[in-house]
Amino acid sequence: MNEVPLGFLWPSIRERRARLIEAVSVMRKLWTGEFVDFSGKYYTLETANLYMKANFPIYIAAFSVGD
């Protein structure tokens, strides 16, 4: 919603869902504590590292009115 006042279009529900799925995948890879290379449709990482390990569930709540 912050994009709209700046003149950017809000992505479709399908794209927002795909971005979320890819973002969660990136977070899980980073939480391994290893260096991560990732090249997805929306996100790219080169030798990224959080220097920590984590392993816990991710809960996501969302609501949207159809596109």
Residue 21 one-letter amino acid: I
- Cα 58 to the chain's mean position, in Å? 12
Name the residue range of residue 58's domain. 11-67
Classify residue 23: in a domain, yes or no.
yes
Q: Could you give the C-alpha distances from 12 to 9, 19, 55, in angstroms and in order?
A: 9, 11, 30
Q: Has residue 6 been placed in a domain?
A: no
pLDDT score recorded for residue 46: 97
What total of structural domains would you count in the chain? 1
Percent of the chain at pLDDT exceeding 70: 90
Residue 5 lies in a domain: no
Q: Confidence band (pLDDT; 50, 70, 90) for 12?
A: confident
**Phi, then psi, of 33 in degrees rounded to 5:** 85, 0
pTM as predicted: 0.79
